[in-house]
C-alpha cells in the first residue's frame, strides 16, 4: 500500500526515553496495514543484535546494518513504502538528503535518534532532520537522580560524569549512560 504523500517523522529525546520502542510500535502498525517496511541501522551499533533494532526494554524488529547513508539508497527495495532509520545520529550528514529524497519519492520515512550528545549539544544530523520533518515527537526519560522528566543523556566514566572533551561517540547502554534532568546533568570542563 503506497502513501499518497511522502513524509519524514522524527522520534527523538535522550537515551532511555523509548525512541526505539516508539519506532517499533509505528512499524508494527504499518505491518498491520500491510505496508512494505525496510529498516536500517548504522553498522556501528552492535549492542544487542547485528541485524535487528532493539530497544533497551528488549523489543526487536529486523533491520539492515549499513556503513553510511548512501548505502540505504543502494539497498532500497522497489516495493518498500515505509523506511525506518534507527540511531540516525550515528550517520553522516548525507542522511538528511537521503531522507528528503525518500520522502519526495512518496515514502514514509521514520527516523529515530538522539537530539543531543552527552554534553547536551545538538547531535549529528538529527536537528536538521527535525527541521525538515512533517512530524517530530520528543520523548523524555526519567532522571535516575530525582525521578523527574529527563531530557539529557549523562555519560559516565568509572561512575563519574564524562568530561566535556571526552569523545562524543561511544556506543553503549546503561553501563555508560544514564538519563538525567537539566539540574542533575553534569559535564565538567
Decide if 150 contacts 181 (C-beta within 8 A): yes
Alpha helices for 105-156 (secondary structure H): 126-132
Element (H, E) at 10: strand 7-13
Rounded distance, CA 29 to CA 92, Å? 29
- Answer yes or no: 87 catalytic: yes
153 φ, ψ (degrees, to nearest 5):
-110, 115
Decide if 62 contacts 52 (C-beta within 8 A): yes
Q: How many CB atoms lie within 10 A of CB 92?
A: 14
Catalytic residue, chosen from 22, 51, 78, 87, is 87
What are the residue numbers of the active site? 87
Amino acid at each position: 500500500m503506497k502513501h499518497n504523500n511522502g513524509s519524514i517523522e522524527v522520534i527523538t529525546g535522550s537515551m532511555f526515553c523509548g525512541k526505539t520502542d516508539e519506532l517499533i510500535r509505528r512499524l508494527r502498525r504499518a505491518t498491520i496495514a500491510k505496508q512494505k517496511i525496510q529498516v536500517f541501522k548504522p553498522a556501528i551499533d552492535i549492542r544487542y543484535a547485528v541485524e535487528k533494532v532493539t530497544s533497551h526494554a528488549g523489543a526487536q524488529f529486523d533491520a539492515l546494518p549499513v556503513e553510511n547513508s548512501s548505502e540505504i539508497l543502494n539497498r532500497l527495495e522497489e516495493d518498500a513504502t515505509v523506511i525506518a532509520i534507527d540511531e540516525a545520529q550515528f550517520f553522516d550528514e548525507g542522511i538528511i538528503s537521503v531522507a528528503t529524497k525518500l520522502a519526495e519519492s512518496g515514502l514514509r520515512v521514520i527516523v529515530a535518534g538522539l537530539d543531543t550528545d552527552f554534553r547536551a549539544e545538538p547531535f549529528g544530523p538529527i536537528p536538521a532532520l527535525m527541521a525538515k520533518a512533517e512530524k517530530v515527537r520528543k520523548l523524555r526519560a526519567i532522571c535516575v537522580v530525582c525521578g523527574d522528566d529527563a531530557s539529557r543523556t549523562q555519560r559516565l566514566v568509572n561512575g563519574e560524569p564524562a568530561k566535556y572533551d571526552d569523545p562524543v561517540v561511544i556506543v553503549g547502554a546503561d553501563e555508560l549512560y544514564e538519563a538525567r534532568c537539566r539540574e542533575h546533568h553534569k559535564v565538567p570542563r
